[in-house]
Amino acid sequence: MKLSQLTIGANAIIQSVDLQEPLKYRFMEIGLRVGTVVQICSKTLTSDNLYLKLDNSSCISINKDEAAHIKILPIDQRDQWAHYGKISDSHDCVYPNCIIEK
Amino acid sequence: MNKQIKVAIVGQPNVGKSSLINAMSNAKLHVGNFTGVTVEKKEVFVKSDLFDIKMTDLPGIYALNAYTPEETVAKNFLLNEQYDIILNVVDANVLSRNLMLTLQLLDMHKKMILVVNMIDEIEAKKGSIDAKKLSILLGIPVILTSAKTSQGIDEINKTIIQTYRAKQNDNKIYYTQKVEERIKELTKVLQKSPHFKDKDYARFIAIRLIDKDENVYKIIHDLPIFIEAHNVLEKIYSSLTAELDEDSTVDILSNERVAIAHNLHIETVNIKEESKNLNEKIDNLLIHPILGLPIFLFFMWALFQLTFVLGNYPMNIIGDIFTYTATTLADILPNGTVNSALTQGIIPAISAVVMFLPNILILFFGLNLLEQTGYMSRAAYLMDGFLKRFGLQGKAFVPLVSGFGCTVPAYMAARTLKNPKDRIITMLVLGFMSCGARLPVYILLIGAFFPTHDAGNVLFAIYISGAILGLIFAKILRVVLFKGEPEPFVMEMPPYRLPSYKALYMDLWYKTKMFLKKAGTFIALAALGIWFLSTYPHNSALEKSYEIKIQHTKNIQIKKQLQNELSAKSLEESYMGHIGKFIEPVFKPLGFDWRMSVSVIAGLAAKEVVVSTMATLYSVGNASNTSKGLIQKVRENVSFNSAIALLIIIMIYSPCVAAMSTFYAEIPQWAWRAFYTIYPNVVAWLFAYGVYRLLSAVGH
């Protein structure tokens, strides 16, 4: 499913961002990346623009055309918290392991 | 002299860098709650007992892979300039995302301090951030601050000095084994070059090259090491992407940083997830699909109503004070040059400008609220679809609205637009957004020709008409000269914040000071020049013949008429009269007399000069009306149709010299500079002529 098809209020996890460089990297820098939980808060009257909430914290706005290039996996509210729980319990995430010298 | 510590203030957009500097010093940097408030580097100095700290506030940058022109300013500074410490400011609310830049900065292996700003907002949510743990994990000092409440501000200066004195810490952040192996491989190759003998610098360059940083690639391109480094780099690109199953090494490094940032967040941040908060409730109304745009238009309408209605009271009082001063001085001072220069030149001109200060401040107050609350980004979101139909990008909304304040920073704000075509179109139509300096002319003409109860609506109509014209021209430019689609819209929506009253006060006070300074220097000098040109040379023969006539007349009415005739004839024979007569044919079809024509031309220096010039010319040219306000004089000397034509000219023609210089500095192409210099004036004249003829045809 594409992000542009997600209904208002529904949550999803981003699976892939298939955009050209450098826009793809700008999206990543602003928080739209694989593994991010995304919710559509609002759409403009013409549905040209989407108002998104990322990981239940920051908000951004993008065009519907670009949202059509973002693949998502819809989740319901309960699943969303489970997703967070998994990360915080295991200190694991969807990305490769990293090294932090303590 | 104290030793100087050079500090680069770096951070993602809208994390409160400028607010922090204002809190640390007496600086009055412009602040706002949206992305792209600071678009050029600014320097602020802070003195301590032993050191002078030179802080450079850089435009916000999401990552070292700069995307927009203003981000390039920050990146170029970081890569090419000399500084001792990086002060990395992050927003406590979105720490994980902000740490992505922190990790890239740590790759530079410079002395660094992390300032976690807006901690008050986390504490308000009963959350906390473990600064000590974060400091240990990152290997750099971490300070929790709030620029709003001044929490932790004093600690920053102390930490800067301590960090400056301490030796460089070892790197604590490493990537995964496969990536580290490639970094080491490339670092070794680079170290063969005398340019990269320093291991830490070579490592940073290696990381940037694997991260496909074009600027860094250009640096090594011209060096002898390039061929060897390029071959190794190509091998790294293909092997890493194949091994880790990613499209690009940029994705790989980005994913690694996300993982590190995420873990740092988990280790150090303790915050409960919120249910639906006030922010969302406000958003539900302000960005409502149907109500959003009407609400925005209502806000703008209310602002212009307030600008006129509320500003009218102090405006009249200030006008009366100046008129009284001029009349009193005219009576007290002996007749002659000083009397004339003061009462007919300088005082009317300064009065004509200063009396509109309250209106200008109300407008700026409204625009400041728009910027500080976070509504600006929402309005850009609402307007994007609409602007796109006219060939503009939604982000262009920010410079366009800033243009209602002043065109100079608005041109610079256009740097936030990545696509050069979007940027040039926006800058070419920015002049249609009437700046604050044009406000005095509008209020003067509206006050003279429209009833007070309609004045706010007329003012709103003028601003909206300018904006609509700008959109039409943007569409024409897009279709004719700049074919292609605007850059996709992507914008961060900051949380709503209560405006900082200190920042509001400081900003308005600074603007008042600058405005009065401009009125007391530039405008007073311009007025003196206009007065001189409109008073000299004296025609003794003419004056003598009229003096005899006046002396022999007993009727006071005829006496006054003769005095006015003398003033008008003297003015026509003055230098300014000759200049005006020379220009007059250009504006004659619009019904302008030579005095209006001169005022329009003088307005190219600064728009306030239009009213000050009119004030001087209508004072010098009429001996008996020193006691009358400027509005009354305009009503007597200018027809309604010409006033509307003048409004249109002021609305469209070239902005002031300062704004034009900024455009020339921002746009290097001579063709666009020439186009920009000519087309608004031609359009202004044609529109004004069309409306003037239309009004005459309907019998106005």
In percent, how much of chain B has pLDDT > 90? 51
Within 8 A of A66 by CB-CB distance, chain B residues are 488, 490
Rounded CA separation B410/B399 (Å):
5
pLDDT bin (cut points 50, 70, 90) of residue A102 is very low
pLDDT at position B39 over 90: no
- Which structural domains are found in chain B, ordered by start? 3-165 (3.40.50.300), 177-270 (1.10.287.1770), 275-521+658-684 (no CATH), 522-657+685-697 (no CATH)
The CA-to-CA distance between both ends of chain A, in Å, stands at 41
How many CB atoms are closer than 10 A to CB B695? Answer: 17
Give the pLDDT score at A94: 41
Q: Residue A61's closest CA among B18, B152, B35?
A: B35
Supply B457's token pair. 């609506």
User: What distance in Å separates residue A63's CA from the closest CA in chain B?
Assistant: 6
pLDDT at position A78 over 70: no
CB contact under 8 A, B288 and A42: yes
Q: Is the CB of residue B376 less than 8 Å from the CB of residue B630? A: no
pLDDT at position B506 over 90: no
User: In sequence order, which ranges of B403-523 are alpha helices (DSSP H)?
Assistant: 407-413, 420-429, 439-449, 452-480, 501-518
Domain definitions of chain A by residue range:
3-90
User: What distance in Å separates residue A1's CA from the closest CA in chain B?
Assistant: 21
pLDDT at position A79 over 60: no
Residue with tokens 């961002």: A17
Over residues B152-174, the pLDDT tens digits come to 999 999 999 999 999 887 777 88
Rounded CA separation B510/B504 (Å):
10
Nearest to B250 among A25, A44, A95 (CB): A25
pLDDT bin (cut points 50, 70, 90) of residue A101 is very low
Give the pLDDT score at B312: 82
Nearest to B493 among A35, A56, A61 (CB): A61
| Listed range (B12-21, B200-209, B403-412, B472-481) with the worst mean pLDDT | B403-412
Nearest to A60 among B284, B384, B493 (CB): B493
pLDDT at position B520 over 60: yes
Give the pLDDT score at B169: 77
CB contact under 8 A, B254 and A25: yes
pLDDT at position B486 over 90: no
| Listed range (B532-546, B657-671, B680-694) with the worst mean pLDDT | B532-546
pLDDT bin (cut points 50, 70, 90) of residue B273 is low
Rounded CA separation B337/B343 (Å):
10
Structure ipTM: 0.80
pLDDT bin (cut points 50, 70, 90) of residue B375 is very high
Within 8 A of A50 by CB-CB distance, chain B residues are none
pLDDT at position B26 over 60: yes
Average pLDDT, chain B: 89
Give the pLDDT score at B253: 93
| Listed range (A95-99, B236-240, B545-549) with the worst mean pLDDT | A95-99
Nearest to B489 among A43, A63, A101 (CB): A63
Does B74 reach chain A within 8 Å, measured CB to CB?
A: no
Rounded CA separation B482/B475 (Å):
9
Region label for B503, one of left (φ > 0), alpha (ψ between -120 and 50) or beta (otherwise) = alpha
Over residues A11-69, the pLDDT tens digits come to 999 999 999 888 888 898 899 988 899 999 999 888 789 999 998 888 999 999 999 99
| Listed range (A34-43, B275-284, B294-303, B500-509) with the worst mean pLDDT | B275-284
Give the pLDDT score at B620: 64
Nearest Cα residue in chain B from A31: B97
Does B384 reach chain A within 8 Å, measured CB to CB?
A: yes
Burial class (CB in 10 A: 0-12, 13-18, 19+), B215: middle
Average pLDDT in the B92-99 region? 93
Q: Which amino acid is at B16?
A: G
Rounded CA separation A58/A36 (Å):
11
CB contact under 8 A, B492 and A30: yes
Q: Long-range contacts of range B212-218, CB-CB < 8 Å, 24 or more positions apart?
A: B212/B65, B212/B248, B212/B249, B212/B250, B213/B64, B213/B65, B215/B66, B215/B75, B215/B76, B215/B79, B216/B79
Average pLDDT in the B473-492 region? 90
* More confident position, A80 or B391: B391
Q: Is the CB of residue B282 less than 8 Å from the CB of residue B276? A: no
pLDDT at position B37 over 90: no
Give the pLDDT score at B628: 56
Average pLDDT in the B511-527 region? 86
Let me know if domain A3-90 sits in CATH 2.60.120.380: no
Residues 237-296 of B with CB under 8 A from A: 244, 248, 250-251, 254-256, 258-260, 262-264, 266, 273, 280, 283-284, 287-290, 292-293
DSSP bridge partners of A71? A2, A16
pLDDT at position B328 over 60: yes
Give the pLDDT score at B144: 97
Residues 92-131 of B with CB under 8 A from A: 93-94, 96-97, 100
pLDDT bin (cut points 50, 70, 90) of residue A86 is very low
pLDDT bin (cut points 50, 70, 90) of residue A92 is very low
pLDDT at position B36 over 80: no
CB contact under 8 A, A33 and B254: yes
Angle between helices B199-210 and B249-268 (to 10 degrees): 110
Over residues B564-609, the pLDDT tens digits come to 788 878 888 889 889 989 999 999 999 999 889 999 998 988 888 8
Highest mean pLDDT among A7-11, B8-12, B211-215: B8-12
Within 8 A of B490 by CB-CB distance, chain A residues are 23, 26-27, 30, 60-63, 66
pLDDT bin (cut points 50, 70, 90) of residue A97 is very low
| Listed range (A68-72, B229-233, B615-619) with the worst mean pLDDT | B615-619
Q: Residue A39's closest CA among A2, A81, A8?
A: A8
Give the pLDDT score at A81: 52
CB contact under 8 A, A45 and B489: no
Rounded CA separation B210/B217 (Å):
10
| Listed range (A34-38, B270-274, B644-648) with the worst mean pLDDT | B270-274
Supply A80's token pair. 């969303």
